[in-house]
Amino acid sequence: MLDFEQWSMEKHSDIAMKRNVGLLLARLCGWRTILFLDDDIRGMDPSFIAWAAGLTGWYPVIGFQILDFPDNSLVCHANRVSGGEQVPFVGGCALFVNTRLVGTYFPPEYNEDWFFMYDAVAAGLAGVAGRLRQLEYKPFDRSAAPEEFGELMAEGLFRALHSGSDVSTLYFWMDAIKKRSRFIDEVVRRLHGSARGKEDPLPDLDRILSRLDEAQKRLMEISPMRCLSFYRTWRGNVDIWQRQLLDLPTSLTLEQAIRYLRLSSE
């Protein structure tokens, strides 16, 4: 079985492991369609969800837009607060997956869902079924540093899908780091500008600026070689994942699948 831990460049949380276990259980039990769903998502009308699930007959992944309080990174939330444009993107917080059409896994990095959907998006096979809601939370209570590597990688990869750039070169990642740094600097400038001359500035301004400083410092620690190394390792691991999926049984009971993966049933 695959060892996810050794592939992590900067482990963010255990959510990738949990989602990978879900993928493997579905494969072992012969389930075609599964739904990854965070517990703070709302608007799950049964008929709407049933319709969305049916779309997996044509699309490997079907997601939803979260417009009112999207599950973005801290830097993206700061960009939105500063008045910058922030287009919502589907993610793992509410995601249908056709396990027979998807051959990728969730790497243990921030934005693991973007990496998981990358091949489907690249092939034009990632669908958007509609909109859902997410409960409000306090994004600036957490640190920005652990998110920065995954943000840099995911944004660079998806930007390259539109530009046609070659992501397998050091030059690309040098440029991606520069673009990311300029983006963070621009958010900081807008926040300072919005507070200038106002008697009642943004309540969390100092905290937001501190978080952006964390992100910028972490970004400066990331080398283009590390980005390229992660990209190569990740793509190699996708190939390994696909080969190992072919060797799995596909008609086990849930109890048998749990034992197969050496999981606790409690």
Strand partners, 130: 64
- Give me the pLDDT at residue 265, please: 56
- Give me the pLDDT at residue 198, please: 60
- Give me the pLDDT at residue 13, please: 66
pLDDT, tens digit, 9 for 90 and up, residues 210-245: 999 999 999 999 999 999 999 999 999 999 999 999
The answer as to whether 180 is a domain residue is yes
- Give me the pLDDT at residue 196, please: 62
Contact residues for 139 (Cβ-Cβ < 8 A; gap 6+)? 72, 74, 77
The answer as to whether 265 is a domain residue is no
- Give me the pLDDT at residue 8, please: 46
The answer as to whether 253 is a domain residue is yes
Query: pTM for the whole thing?
Result: 0.90
Q: Which residues of the chain have pLDDT under 50?
A: 1-11
How many independent structural domains does the chain possess? 1
The answer as to whether 99 is a domain residue is yes
The answer as to whether 110 is a domain residue is yes
Inter-residue contact 27 to 257 (CB < 8 Å): no
Side by side, the strands of the sheet bearing 94-98 are: 33-37, 94-98, 61-66, 126-134, 41-42
Domain that holds residue 78: 5-260
- Give me the pLDDT at residue 96, please: 97
- Give me the pLDDT at residue 203, please: 77
- Using alpha carbons, select from 183, 228, 246 the residue that is nearest to residue 28: 246
The answer as to whether 22 is a domain residue is yes
What percent of the residues of the chain are helix, what percent strand, and what percent coil, each to the nearest 5? 55, 10, 35
**Cα 146 from Cα 204, distance rounded (Å):** 20
The answer as to whether 217 is a domain residue is yes
**Cα 205 from Cα 203, distance rounded (Å):** 6
The answer as to whether 266 is a domain residue is no
- Give me the pLDDT at residue 213, please: 96
9: left (phi over 0), alpha (psi -120 to 50) or beta: alpha
**Cα 154 from Cα 110, distance rounded (Å):** 9
